């Protein structure tokens, strides 16, 4: 079991078969459960089983030759394999799975009773109706900024609940730098009052009417964070993208979204590609160290195919840019290839766009509706109808993800 010793929630796992990496996924839960392990894998001749279990999300399939990667890491080739239970089969085992552990589950009822069975739409509805202080018709940004910070923690696989001293240390600078100019930096306000959203837990302190003072919070050892139900929903990639898009566009539209998202560890959510636009030139973004080694590999044949299919004409505006000897267009992934989006590299996730519409699509200035209307995000007005080739199937699910990022989920 030494191979699994260092793994933790939030880590990425690569799947390996026949000398290739065939998929990647993110760990959203770790637990030991012998009964479940026996049901899935059985036991070996010594009655042993494989009870260390990982729950995974954000699964993306691909095929990358493994040998160069493994040699680079100094890992022996080939690897041993792990067994997976697929989505449908998993239902059979679902009620055996209790990440909290069977003993604890019997003692404690689920943490937030009223929030049981919270779904994606409930979460978005709650986020859309936050109660915020309003002063001179501008609402305070304390709660939305804190929520983005908390989503950033979940996305990084960090603990859901945070003790007050750390909360203040991390949230106060955000409120100072991104709050309204005339607003006081009072991290105790969102720490305590986000409970009214129905998505937030405060633990370790007695309930009371007035906001506890910072020293009280410290003395009593209070901690706060998303409720278990909200955290569970936010660990799913579509809900997370939608939540971030909604919070930014509803409460923080006058703010430099890119700067704030970068500060809370969600930089990739400021654009549809998640990084540099599809391997083209850097369009004025500040270069970031973390990107240099994580550019996803894209299939150049697919890029060629989409451009040829449309004869280099932009699917949004129809423009066909002439060059001396040919034409120029760009292949845009609808759901970005790189982290944090991990969209697939396939034709159904690609558009042929002119450079202007590529930038507008990537930077969330335009989005595409279910009926293929191309709308401007700032006004919601229809500007174009998306051109579609008969052989080009575009998956609605990727457009839905992009709309989520646009705050149109």
Instruction: Report, in Å, the least distance between residue 391 CB and Zn ion.
Output: 21
Q: Give whichever of 319 and 386 is closer to Zn ion, judged by the CB atom.
A: 319
Whole-angstrom distance, CA of residue 224 vs CA of residue 158: 13
Distances (CA, A) of 59 to 199, 296, 335, 401: 26, 15, 14, 15
For 306, list phi and psi in degrees, rounded to 5.
Answer: -70, -35
Could you give the angle at which helices 237-251 and 142-155 cross, rounded to 10 degrees? 160
Q: How many residues are given for the chain?
A: 409
Stretch of 35-43, 157-165, 249-257, 312-320 contacting Zn ion, by CB under 5 A = 312-320
If one asks whether residue 331 binds Zn ion (CB under 5 A), the answer comes out as no
Is cis: bond before 78, omega within 30 of 0?
A: yes
Cα 5 from Cα 35, distance rounded (Å): 21
Pick 9 or 314: Cβ nearer Zn ion? 314
Could you give the C-alpha distances from 38 to 31, 32, 280, in angstroms and in order?
Answer: 14, 12, 50
Q: Calculate the CA 57 to chain-centre distance.
A: 11
Helices (H), 252-378: 257-263, 300-309, 355-362
User: Tokens in use for 312?
Assistant: 């280099």
* Binding segment (CB under 5 A) for Zn ion, from list 17-25, 36-44, 53-61, 319-327: 319-327
Work out how close the CB of 356 gets to Zn ion at its nearest, in angstroms, rounded to a whole number: 6
> CB 65 → Zn ion: shortest distance, Å?
36
Residues 131-170 within binding reach of Zn ion (CB under 5 A): none
Taking the least distance from each CB to Zn ion, the nearer of 317 and 347 is 317
- Position of minimal CB gap to Zn ion: 314
Q: Which is nearer to Zn ion, 154 or 314 (CB)?
A: 314
Of the pair 180, 386, the CB lying nearest Zn ion is at 386
CB of 317 to Zn ion, least distance (A): 3
- Nearest distance from residue 335's CB to Zn ion, in Å? 20
Residue from 317, 321, 347, 386 in contact with Zn ion (CB under 5 A): 317
End-to-end CA, the chain: 42
- Sole binder of Zn ion in the list 127, 150, 224, 316 (CB under 5 A): 316
Alpha carbon distance 154, 243 (integer Å): 13
Q: C-beta of 238: minimal distance to Zn ion in Å?
A: 27
Indicate the residue among 252 and 366 with the shorter CB distance to Zn ion: 366
The residue range among 62-70, 107-115, 310-318, 383-391 that interacts with Zn ion, by the rule CB under 5 A, is 310-318
51: left (phi over 0), alpha (psi -120 to 50) or beta: alpha
Q: Residue 276 or residue 354: which is nearer to Zn ion going by CB?
A: 354
Region of 81-89, 155-163, 265-273, 308-316 interacting with Zn ion (CB under 5 A): 308-316
Number of residues that bind Zn ion (CB under 5 A): 6
CB of 387 to Zn ion, least distance (A): 10
Q: Give the footprint of Zn ion on residues 342-361 (CB under 5 A).
A: 354, 357
Nearer to Zn ion, 143 or 312 (CB): 312
| CA–CA distance, 120 with 124 (Å, rounded to integer) | 6
Q: Decide if 342 contacts 237 (C-beta within 8 A).
A: yes
Output 249 or 329, the one with its CB closest to Zn ion: 329
- Residue 97 or 317: the one with the smaller Cβ distance to Zn ion is 317
Supply the minimum distance, in Å, between the C-beta of residue 313 and Zn ion.
Answer: 9
**Shortest spacing between CB 306 and Zn ion, in angstroms:** 14
Lay out the sheet containing 12-17: strands in order across: 12-17, 20-32, 52-65
Question: Residues 152-167, buried b or exposed e (16+ Cβ, 10 A)?
Answer: bbbbeeeebbbbbeeb
Task: Return the residue of 246, 248, 313, 314 that touches Zn ion, per CB under 5 A.
Answer: 314
Binding site for Zn ion (CB under 5 A): 314, 316-317, 319, 354, 357
């Amino acid at each position: 079991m030494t191979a699994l010793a260092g793994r933790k929630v939030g880590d990425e796992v690569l799947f390996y078969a026949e000398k290739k990496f065939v998929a990647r996924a993110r760990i959203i839960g770790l637990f030991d459960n012998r009964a479940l392990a026996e049901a899935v894998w059985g036991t070996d001749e010594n009655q042993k089983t494989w009870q260390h279990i990982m729950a995974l999300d954000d699964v993306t399939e691909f095929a990358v030759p493994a040998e160069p990667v493994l040699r680079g890491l100094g890992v022996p080739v080939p690897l041993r394999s792990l067994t997976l239970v697929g989505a449908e089969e998993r239902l059979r085992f679902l009620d055996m799975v209790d990440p909290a552990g069977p003993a604890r589950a019997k003692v404690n009822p689920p943490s937030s009773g009223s929030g049981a069975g919270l779904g994606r739409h409930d979460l978005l509805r709650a986020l859309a109706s936050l109660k915020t202080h309003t002063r001179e018709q501008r609402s305070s940004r304390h709660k939305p900024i804190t929520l983005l910070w908390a989503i950033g923690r979940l996305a990084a696989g960090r603990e859901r609940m945070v003790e007050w001293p750390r909360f203040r240390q991390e949230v106060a600078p955000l409120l100072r730098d991104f709050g309204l100019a005339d607003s006081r930096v009072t991290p105790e306000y969102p720490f305590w009052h986000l409970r009214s959203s129905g998505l937030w837990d405060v633990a370790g302190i007695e309930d009371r009417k007035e906001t506890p003072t910072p020293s009280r919070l410290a003395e009593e050892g209070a901690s706060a964070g998303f409720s278990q139900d909200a955290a569970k929903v936010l660990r799913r990639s579509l809900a997370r993208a939608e939540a971030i898009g909604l919070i930014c566009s509803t409460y923080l539209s006058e703010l430099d979204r890119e700067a704030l998202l970068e500060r809370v560890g969600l930089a990739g959510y400021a654009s549809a590609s998640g990084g540099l636009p599809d391997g083209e030139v850097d369009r004025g973004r500040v270069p970031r160290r973390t990107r240099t080694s994580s550019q996803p590999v894209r299939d150049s044949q697919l890029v060629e195919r989409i451009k040829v299919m449309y004869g280099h004409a932009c699917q949004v505006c129809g423009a066909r840019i002439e060059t001396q000897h040919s034409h120029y267009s760009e292949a845009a992934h609808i759901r970005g290839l790189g982290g944090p989006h991990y969209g697939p590299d396939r034709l159904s996730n690609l558009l042929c766009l002119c450079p202007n519409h590529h930038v507008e699509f990537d930077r969330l200035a335009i989005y595409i509706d279910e009926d293929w209307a191309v709308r401007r995000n700032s006004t919601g007005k229809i500007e174009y109808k998306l051109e579609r080739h008969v052989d080009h199937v575009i998956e609605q699910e990727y457009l839905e993800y992009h709309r989520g990022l646009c705050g149109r989920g």
